[in-house]
Chain A
Amino acid sequence: MKRILKIKLKKGILAKPISPGRELHPGVEAMGAELREKIKERFGRSFHIREVDTGSCGACESEIISATNPIYDIQRFGIDFVASPRHADALLVTGPVSRNMAVALRKTYEAMPEPKFVITLGDCAKDGGAFKDSYYTAGGVKEILPVDYHIPGCPPSPETIIKALLAFLSK
Chain B
Amino acid sequence: MSKIDVRDLHFSYAKGPEVLKGLDFSLDGRSCALVGQNGAGKTTFVKLLKGLLRPSSGSILLDGRDIAGSSVPELARHVGLVFQNPNDQIFKNNVLDEVMFGPLQIGMGEGEARASALAALELVGLSGHEAVNPYDLGLSDRKMVSIAAILAMDTDVVIFDEPTIAQDHDGKERLARIVRDLSCQGKVVISILHDMDFVAQTFERVIAMAHGEVLLDADPRSVFSQRDVLERARLEQPTTAQLCHALGYEELFLSPQEFVDFYRSQHGSHA
A and B from one assembly?
Answer: no
Q: A residues touching B (Cβ–Cβ < 8 Å)?
A: none
Q: B residues touching A (Cβ–Cβ < 8 Å)?
A: none
